[in-house]
Structure 1
């Protein structure tokens, strides 16, 4: 029969049409014909399968390209291909992974999250839309993991596409590695070369996942302007070490000293939808500065500074900030994550020769520093260089005889060369003396900075943190050049005298070095012999990290330790001259090679490396920044460390530096141990010691000398700094307790229950693997199984390659992949060194495959299909099964939003309605266990479908059921939380802006009166400026009131159904018996009262398993008969869930196999260690003789195969591999 030619009249509301949007079936909303006498055209408005509105102008000729899949209000034809329908349905489920599985990011990442991390992401961060949050957990808490988990979850939920991470330069590569290796997120690191390569000239416009070095952009006007471009918007901005974005109020009129980093933070605050700030040191003790920092989160809520009697009042931050200290962190067993730590000060006396050299060099340094002070008044840059050079020289003096000798030789030689240059060019003496070499770098580069800009070691340490790992060697060389050549000499005679002094010092240092008289090394040698050489035959011998500040000392220690141990292979080193790859190689050797016992390192190993295989640490050189001590200790005292950690801090007695640190460490040792680590961080502040940093204090101690008065002054300043620092910590914790998270055992159990609740919906790896393999083959590609859990893609389908390019032209796919895997545990494999590509939801390769499958088979979903269910758990009645999705939206709350609507929850569920009207939701889609009907069965099914129920469209019933049973309760809960959050934010914003408004109106009146009565007096601010501030506060209050104060009802999108499948129980179909349960050999031996596979066999197998679980102390629960995937779920005392598939067999010769459905296989693969296969051997002699064994990972080696419905598995093989229940 000829096909009907479509007209515009056929496109009625709710008609489903194929051909308007390529590869998609859309639903007609309305057709608007063009007015006559225009050509035969009409505007068609439609919704796509995602519920988004679209429109297109169609001509009459275009109607020939359209195909009506389903007429309005008509039942589906159910004539879609079952295999294609099942594949498209699974593609849809994976694309909606985050809606189907609310913790999809956890299960598709290579991480084992901890309770405090789960709580941070899923309770403190994700529910906040938009997120404006300060994550301030202690160092080592895994803030990078929390940020990555949040980013991945937001990407999976389609709540974000563009993400920027801003971090110190030295951490950029680490962030890139962590995001890729743990979350399969491919971030680019911004570089100046991207500007030239950008089509628009602004790479920030095109970038999707970008890491930016903080100072590279903050200190570059061109890059900063690009980031402020109105077309640059970010869905998520993450700032690591966010405390660097500091600012300070200059006076009572809110004028501020704003750093470039703070300006960068303001830009991110204005251009990002969600802003996550991360730091372990959010509060330096200055409440006004802290609140100014918080304006990056909400400039209205934290506007202005504390004033008058409320100057020290701490504001409410519980909903915008979270803090957790190490001592409060627990694992899922309720044990503390961090073991005990102990620190000891090793105070050693200098020998007479060492003391003599120390005094001589210190006198030289002190004299040079005094000259530098006078030079500062006329040439600040040169004075800075000299002061920096002499300070570093003094640090090397305390490091080792080798370091000071080498440094003095280099300095002597360089100044001798300078003297010779002056003799050749006597008229150019001023320029030569003022121009030490080794400075400078191109704007925006990551190489060595200009050392002339450094006023002290704080600047040096700060710049070191910003240096990329591969440029730290250049950085060190640049510092050496300044140390070797910066001189305070102003004439040839002064320079000649300095060279003569250096000759004497070199000779004295050489004598000491050659004598081998090194007291400090002997102290380290004693530690090594006690803890490394004399450790018995422990299976886990101690490993140690020795930190030094200087490369010369590092080389010296490497030789000495190798000689002491008698094994050069026992020592390895990390320093700034090694590339990132070289450092990784050394790290792997130190961690994994039992022969390698000692790592000697500079601060190149102080950040970014996880070295918890070591449990001993020595600070051979103590840094002049206290928080670096904690940073170093954090390399070993971190999550994953199982042993008590020991730290030895080496301090030379009767030296100025030694006196400072002896007093400091002694004072800290008398304080509450719970604060020790955090106290180091506070004392690292640039104003911790009566307005000066520790390095400034060191320099002043050297300049003041060692008189009793100088020592008394030093002790007083240090004691006050430590006491004040501790007071700040305690005050912060007491006034802001709600921001501090204190985990209890009950909290841990709650987080475990949260994970267990969603584990059943986990897709990785089983379901992802089965879908991907089938899809690649279906689309014409080639993929083969290799090692366990690993595959090789021999040919990628061309459609997939094209789709990937369309989705992201910056991340094209390869035509072949040597190894891919779906399980993080199989990324690496001992049998094949190739690292496998991890395929998870959200990765480009899986996104492209899903896009092609849905485009190719969208029509099959719209048509619907028919399945036959002949599993043991089949229903008694025909049913329609479908997937349903729905979005819940709310107005955004942030300061940069004005009523914008954002999705706060997305649901994706499976529904079933039987022909008697009974409806239910399904935890797992059952399609995998169903098969296509045979031709004979189709004829029977057609007869069944003649009933009126099958001719009616049940879509609206299903949609109503979704809202009534799933959505309504969720909306009520979300509405209450949304209203409470809006009310809380509005209360805080109103309180702050009202206060600021009152203050500025008061100031306006006061200044105006002063201007009137004292017209000649200079005012700190004009009344006009105060008036403008007051009006600004009123305007901001009015704007936020409009956004927050009124009612705001959540918006619920219409329910969308995705493909209807008619499922017919096989029991309703007549069969001729062929191939169905033919008698097996040995069946005649069965007792008459026990027919094979009877209910009694199944019942006894279930009861046997239930009793085994009770004996293990778990609480088992039988699942409903029609549950797909497993039979029993069992909970231990902590709430951890084990799922069990039970297979029973009569203990007689005969059939030695059982069948496992695809759902059972994929569920087992997905659940991993949480799955058991229970094999019940049922005795003909009675239940008391029944036996049971458990098998873990029973189905891991079964390869997905779309050609089978059930897998035939040998009982005896698994029985022999099993064990007693566990």
Structure 2
């Protein structure tokens, strides 16, 4: 289905590619390399006795439960085995809890061998809920058929618990010592390098936090039992204060820790996908360092030998491919068996270790390499990816995105007004103190954007700079910026309604700019899009037109006294202006959104509904198979069948819900526009040579446009859109020039607006300044590429312009 969607160009932007293959449009890798190392160790004699005792107990009761088809019991015992592999603390506490619960059931004369849910159901639960269910299984399910057998099992658990307490009491856990060796080798104590440690068990997490703090490290942690606010705070603590974070699988979901590049898997999940999810917390877009990952494996245990063999095979494949891509597709190196299946075979002793390890050689390395390449859909991507469309989307995003300098300037001014303390430090901002009223945000804002912290040690408003400097990237959607925007809107809402007065230094505008928020909603009453509209109303002719809201950057604000001394009145009809906005602005915006939504809806119908229908058929077949096997006398638990029936019903509900959602998503309507504010714009006067002459400017535009055509490019005149450039020009290779045109009647300095200068800094090599001199007589064109780098303008605050006097020395005469 994926192949079909790509070939039909229904979904050209979705490709399953391994992160190691991804490059930017300059062909530079998006992800730095990662080095994965297996740290092999052997258990101490005491640890070995504990391991053998627990594993023999698990093997005995696992096989007994398997013979009686008590699948919940077998699953409970694998949980116990995983706790054993995690830490002495985890197995000790698990054994004690199981002992106490089974003893309680024995005293009540109860035997519990089944519950109403299975392993597959538990895999889909949130970690907190999964832990709760797993403890329930582990503590009360038994393979015992009689109370006498249960009594014998309880006695064995008491012996094993005593053995576990002895091991823990000696505080010589080998794995912990191996962790310390890794930390010493990476020189953690002598540096600020951060370390992320993963474990499956909450008991192990608490044990590690306790030990690491005793060693003198600053430590934070995250696990599934923590609420959203606690997780966000832990992530922020790790970024700004703590050197080490200990995390369970919950930390492998939804958090970004690319400021950390050292990771240790204290225990290895039996599901390889979870291993890759863990690695993905640090090996992700924005990571600037080579990532080091250490897997701790006890090679003298049953599961350890299997993991050792797996990692050896993956290492050979990795060396052949020249990348670490193999961890994304572990399943491709095994035939018909999962990693968990092999480990369970070893624990239950159903096959010899030699037989199990041979499974890794059933697929030769060269065949496995081919499967890895096939899994990444390399050929499919090469044949069918619509690169032109992707580049077009990237181009539009670059042109339309909110310039970081705007956000930074807004934040600086807002911080001053709101009492946020910040200082410049090594090219970044250090936000030293955020007042309580800014941090004390309503729950809805916290749930959507996250918690606002008291301090941010390293902040940048530029994405590339933030990534390279391992700083916090503050943009729209960041909790701090969203809280600041909310506070400014609340504090100045009334004042904004009173309006303001600005001066147009160019002397071209005399009227009012009305600012509206336009919103389009869908059939679910969910916002499909919001846009800020600016409508310019001329003072005399009352003509209406749209202008770019960024025009404010090019105007000079007047103080209260100057505003009162000016003519502020301007006849207006609010209904007329709103009507113009709805018919000329919102309707076009709705069409733009609807076109995109209709295309997405078609894809959802064509592939989403088909996928659900296919899964429903698979579920029907599974239910039918269960019933057939039961009729033949096989013992299929009723709970297993009912779980599948519920799953099938849930799939049908999802299908119907998706159909309704698709219908609602293409039903768009515009809400009534909201007036945000208005500004009165008065015409100012440039001094001397800086006076604008529309006729001269028009001739300059014609000269620039003709030059572009002679050079074989396709120029587009956009000077009325206030984009920060006058011409967008491209050649047949899709190379773009963003051209600002300055025309002089004779010669002299040129003036750039703040918007033009910011766009020059943003677009760099793609931004060009075209200066036409002697325009009134014999026009001469001079061109300057990347003026932000080559020119040193003088900022004239009084006229809100950047004056460039030495442009000719940096320019090239155009033929």
Q: When the two structures are superposed, what TM-score results if normalisation uses the length of structure 1?
A: 0.41
Aligned pair partner of 1:465 in 113, 116, 127:
127
**Structure 1: unaligned runs, 5 residues or longer:** 1-286, 291-309, 423-427, 437-450, 774-781, 797-803, 812-817, 827-835, 943-949, 997-1028, 1068-1075, 1078-1090, 1107-1114, 1148-1153, 1175-1186, 1199-1205
**Counterpart position of 1:322:** 14
- 1:366-420 residue CA offsets vs partner (Å, 9 max, x unmatched): 3454335546888969946862564245425xx5xxx17x8459848985x899x
SS of equivalent to 1:698: helix
**Counterpart position of 1:1016:** none
Do residues 345 (structure 1) and 38 (structure 2) align? yes
- 1:564-617 residue CA offsets vs partner (Å, 9 max, x unmatched): xxxx33574647599778887876676557xx8766655565445544344333
**Counterpart position of 1:371:** 61
Contact map agreement 1:656 1:705 (CA 8 A) in 2? no
SS of equivalent to 2:38: strand
Instruction: Return the offset for 1:339.
Output: 0.6
After superposition, where does 1:209-224 map in structure 2 within 5 Å? none
With over 3 angstroms needed to count, the CA separation of the structure-2 counterparts of 1:1136 and 1:380, relative to structure 1, is: farther
SS of equivalent to 1:617: strand
After superposition, where does 1:717-796 map in structure 2 within 5 Å? 734=377, 737=380, 747=390, 751-757=394-400, 759=402, 764=407
Aligned pair partner of 2:535 in 910, 914, 925:
910
With over 3 angstroms needed to count, the CA separation of the structure-2 counterparts of 1:662 and 1:1192, relative to structure 1, is: farther
Contact map agreement 1:886 1:1053 (CA 8 A) in 2? no
After superposition, where does 1:684-695 map in structure 2 within 5 Å? 690=336, 694-695=339-340
SS of equivalent to 1:621: coil
After superposition, where does 1:145-544 map in structure 2 within 5 Å? 318-319=10-11, 322-323=14-15, 325=17, 326-327=19-20, 329-330=22-23, 335-348=28-41, 350=42, 354=45, 358=48, 361-362=51-52, 364-371=54-61, 374=64, 383=73, 387-388=77-78, 390-392=80-82, 394-396=84-86, 399=87, 403=88, 407=91, 411=95, 430-431=106-107, 465-466=127-128, 482=139, 490=149, 492=151, 495-496=154-155, 499=158, 518=174, 527-528=182-183, 530-532=185-187, 543-544=194-195
Contact map agreement 2:519 2:529 (CA 8 A) in 1? yes
With over 3 angstroms needed to count, the CA separation of the structure-2 counterparts of 1:329 and 1:715, relative to structure 1, is: same
After superposition, where does 1:888-903 map in structure 2 within 5 Å? none
**Counterpart position of 2:506:** 873
SS of equivalent to 1:322: coil
**Counterpart position of 1:632:** 278
SS of equivalent to 2:507: coil
Contact map agreement 1:889 1:905 (CA 8 A) in 2? yes
SS of equivalent to 2:308: helix
- 1:247-280 residue CA offsets vs partner (Å, 9 max, x unmatched): xxxxxxxxxxxxxxxxxxxxxxxxxxxxxxxxxx
Instruction: Return the offset for 1:341.
Output: 1.7
Instruction: Return the offset for 1:647.
Output: 2.5
SS of equivalent to 1:908: strand
With over 3 angstroms needed to count, the CA separation of the structure-2 counterparts of 1:555 and 1:1209, relative to structure 1, is: same
Cα distance between partner residues in 2 of 1:510 and 1:1052: 66
Cα distance between partner residues in 2 of 1:381 and 1:993: 28
Instruction: Return the offset for 1:643.
Output: 1.8
SS of equivalent to 1:697: helix
Contact map agreement 1:886 1:908 (CA 8 A) in 2? yes
**Counterpart position of 1:569:** 216
**Counterpart position of 1:666:** 312
Cα distance between partner residues in 2 of 1:963 and 1:1191: 44
With over 3 angstroms needed to count, the CA separation of the structure-2 counterparts of 1:554 and 1:1191, relative to structure 1, is: farther
Contact map agreement 1:881 1:913 (CA 8 A) in 2? yes
Cα distance between partner residues in 1 of 2:608 and 2:485: 40
With over 3 angstroms needed to count, the CA separation of the structure-2 counterparts of 1:490 and 1:612, relative to structure 1, is: same
**Structure 2: unaligned runs, 5 residues or longer:** 424-428, 448-453, 463-477, 616-648, 705-712, 770-786
SS of equivalent to 1:342: strand
Cα distance between partner residues in 2 of 1:624 and 1:989: 30
SS of equivalent to 1:337: coil
With over 3 angstroms needed to count, the CA separation of the structure-2 counterparts of 1:483 and 1:668, relative to structure 1, is: farther
Cα distance between partner residues in 2 of 1:315 and 1:1189: 46
**Counterpart position of 1:254:** none
Aligned pair partner of 1:711 in 344, 354, 362:
354
Do residues 700 (structure 1) and 392 (structure 2) align? no
**Counterpart position of 2:327:** 677
Instruction: Return the offset for 1:657.
Output: 0.6
Instruction: Return the offset for 1:338.
Output: 1.0
Cα distance between partner residues in 2 of 1:1137 and 1:660: 59
With over 3 angstroms needed to count, the CA separation of the structure-2 counterparts of 1:586 and 1:1053, relative to structure 1, is: closer
Instruction: Return the offset for 1:736.
Output: 11
**Counterpart position of 2:258:** 612
Instruction: Return the offset for 1:335.
Output: 3.2
SS of equivalent to 2:345: helix
Cα distance between partner residues in 2 of 1:677 and 1:879: 64
Instruction: Return the offset for 1:873.
Output: 1.0
With over 3 angstroms needed to count, the CA separation of the structure-2 counterparts of 1:953 and 1:358, relative to structure 1, is: closer
With over 3 angstroms needed to count, the CA separation of the structure-2 counterparts of 1:662 and 1:1165, relative to structure 1, is: same
Instruction: Return the offset for 1:984.
Output: 7.1
Cα distance between partner residues in 1 of 2:592 and 2:445: 41
SS of equivalent to 2:149: coil
With over 3 angstroms needed to count, the CA separation of the structure-2 counterparts of 1:887 and 1:1057, relative to structure 1, is: closer
SS of equivalent to 1:641: coil
**Counterpart position of 1:157:** none
Cα distance between partner residues in 1 of 2:210 and 2:613: 68
**Counterpart position of 1:44:** none
- 1:214-253 residue CA offsets vs partner (Å, 9 max, x unmatched): xxxxxxxxxxxxxxxxxxxxxxxxxxxxxxxxxxxxxxxx
Instruction: Return the offset for 1:656.
Output: 1.6
SS of equivalent to 2:506: coil
Cα distance between partner residues in 1 of 2:802 and 2:10: 58
Count of aligned residue pairs for this structure pair: 697
SS of equivalent to 1:642: coil
With over 3 angstroms needed to count, the CA separation of the structure-2 counterparts of 1:500 and 1:991, relative to structure 1, is: closer
With over 3 angstroms needed to count, the CA separation of the structure-2 counterparts of 1:603 and 1:992, relative to structure 1, is: closer
Instruction: Return the offset for 1:658.
Output: 1.9
Q: Greater Rg, structure 1 or structure 2? A: 1
With over 3 angstroms needed to count, the CA separation of the structure-2 counterparts of 1:911 and 1:769, relative to structure 1, is: farther
Instruction: Return the offset for 1:547.
Output: 4.0
Cα distance between partner residues in 1 of 2:672 and 2:124: 54
Please state which structure has a larger fraction of its residues in helix.
2
Cα distance between partner residues in 2 of 1:903 and 1:559: 48
